[in-house]
Structure 1
Amino acid sequence: MSRIVYVNGEFLPEDEAKISVFDRGFLFADAIYEVSTVLQGKLVDNAAHLARLQRSVDALNMGLPCSLEEIEAIQLEMLKRNDINEGGLYLQVTRGAADRDFAFPKDSKPSLVMFTQSRPVIDTAAAQNGISVVTTPDIRWQRRDIKTVGLLPASMAKQTALDAGANDAWLVEDGFITEGTSNNAHIVTKDGVLLTRALSNKILHGITRKAVLALAEETGITVEERSFTPDEVSNAAEAFITSASMFVTPVVTFNGEPIVDGKPGKVAKRLRELYIAFALKSLK
């Protein structure tokens, strides 16, 4: 049975879903998105994702087609119609359809699209064994704090990593790590300090990142928000990523070399446990 997707007011089988060729999300990547994780058929920390959705559309002077409350009601209906237990729910808002022009149209109606993806979230090989990461130059635009669908540079970096036999890429700009292709980057120094880049327009303001840093501080881990270099990663006690789809996942190999013994570290494993407990409490 095909998935049921949502397109501008209609719940449809995925093979019947259509959107205008003039939609600005298609023509200009003039669109933003959010991905909420699904556990036990419910959404994880969804209020935070909807708040970021509002922040993103505001930053682009883009309206929403309906209220956040109505959007969440559609999300919950999507979960029911697709009978999804574990995975993700993708949501995309575009500026809508208008004749092709670089200027923002004045009378277009925003488009809203959603679909679900079933996949393991808690019990994964990546969580158990860790992932490998290589570095590649960060060639993205300068407003990475806005969660737009303009993901071609990130996709290219991901493919570069896969072609090199790694799982993901950490992006480097001016000699410092910015973030991963679809995740925030973190290391733990040999002194036990958790380092992660400070929030700015250079990185996405990760929802999972925010929760994990709060959990780390509650646990007594010292958190320092500052930029760090690839050399600091190579010399770290641990490294890990955070994202909505992968929670806390250890990085065990960096640029072809193991981090310490090449096994998931205790801080990453503990923070993953704590985040899973947090996620289960946040379900809606």
Structure 2
Amino acid sequence: MTRIIYLNGEWLAEPEAKVSVFDRGFLMADAIYEVTCVLDGKLVDYAGHAARLQRSAKELGLTLPLSEEALLAAHREIVARNQMDQGMIYLQLTRGVADRDFAYPPADTPPTLVMFTQSKNVLQNAAAERGIKVVLLPDLRWGRRDIKTVQLLYPSMAKMEAKARGADDAWLTEDGFVTEASAASSHIVSAEGVLITRDLSHALLPGITRASVLDLAAAQGISVEERPFTPAEALAAREAFITSATNFVVPVVEIDGQSIADGKPGPLTQELRRLYIDTRRAAAI
């Protein structure tokens, strides 16, 4: 079935959805994006994703052309139009169409808003069953990683370098500490059972799934520390895992060829994945 795309207020068949070559998202990566998971035809953690979208737009001076109510309605409609039971909704907002210039165009330039879907069985994830292998790479991204921009070339390069080394993904490091994965938040569980994850700053994205998982951990009486951790701490950890909207909670079983603990998905990671799916599925809208 041909996907139905949302483009600037119109619903178009995929072949008909076109964006100008002068769009600043194409020319300058002057754009932000957001990803919302769909389960049972409903939106998972939507409020957090909508709030982060608004924050990213504010940080870059972008104007979201839809009200909160209209944005939610558009998300629900794109699910219905594409008859999607499970998968992802990708939204991209650019500064709009203008002749190429480093300076921003006039403030009244209409933005470009695109939404499209990807159907995917998000519940059946082989990586969550076996765990993933990661390699450590330097974090060479720009300094405002807290804004969810479409500047994804270096994360793509890191992912490909990881695959070339026989791994699934990369954990990025800066100043001797892990920041995050190529497209996910990074976490470890210490030998004492403390869940440790990097505290929020300009150095990493404020993950929506990250926040939900930390809330779930605290509700289960698990000690949580939000602070930087080193690769050495990660290698000595009892468990390690990543979180993201596209994969929920996925164990990390190997870093730079060295196994984490016994090299198998840890029980806390597996329990957090189960809790996340059960609670978010029940609360989806």
SS in 1 for 2:263: coil
How many angstroms does 1:228 deviate by?
0.7
Query: For 1:211-222, what aligned pairs fall within 5 Å after superposition?
Result: 211-222=212-223
SS in 1 for 2:97: coil
Q: Distance in 2 between matches of 1:8 and 1:282?
A: 29
1:112 partner amino acid: L
User: Following superposition, which runs of at least 4 residues in structure 1 exceed 2 angstroms of deviation?
Assistant: none
SS in 1 for 2:114: strand
**Percent identity over paired residues:** 58
How many angstroms does 1:256 deviate by?
1.0
2:37 partner amino acid: T
Q: Distance in 2 between matches of 1:162 and 1:84?
A: 30
Match of 2:150 in 1: 149
How many angstroms does 1:263 deviate by?
0.5
Match of 1:24 in 2: 24
How many angstroms does 1:202 deviate by?
0.3
Task: Tell me if 1:244 matches 2:251.
Answer: no
What CA RMSD, in Å, does the superposition of the two structures yield over aligned residues?
0.8
Match of 1:50 in 2: 50
2:220 partner amino acid: T
SS in 1 for 2:150: coil
2:91 partner amino acid: L
SS in 2 for 1:251: strand
Match of 1:166 in 2: 167
Q: Distance in 2 between matches of 1:210 and 1:136?
A: 25
Q: Residues 91-137 of structure 1: CA distance to partner in whole angstroms, max 9, x if unpaired?
A: 01111001111111113111100100011211210111111111101
SS in 1 for 2:47: helix
How many angstroms does 1:68 deviate by?
2.2
How many angstroms does 1:282 deviate by?
2.2
2:233 partner amino acid: E
Q: Residues 228-266 of structure 1: CA distance to partner in whole angstroms, max 9, x if unpaired?
A: 111111111000000001101100111112111111001
Aligned residue pair count:
284
User: What are structure 1's unaligned runs of at least 5 residues?
Assistant: none
SS in 2 for 1:155: helix
Q: Residues 176-230 of structure 1: CA distance to partner in whole angstroms, max 9, x if unpaired?
A: 1000011000000011011100000100000000010011011011000111111
How many angstroms does 1:36 deviate by?
0.2
How many angstroms does 1:51 deviate by?
0.5
Match of 2:121 in 1: 120
SS in 2 for 1:228: coil
Match of 1:10 in 2: 10
TM-score by length of 2: 0.98
Q: Residues 30-62 of structure 1: CA distance to partner in whole angstroms, max 9, x if unpaired?
A: 000000001001110111100100000000011
Match of 2:101 in 1: 101
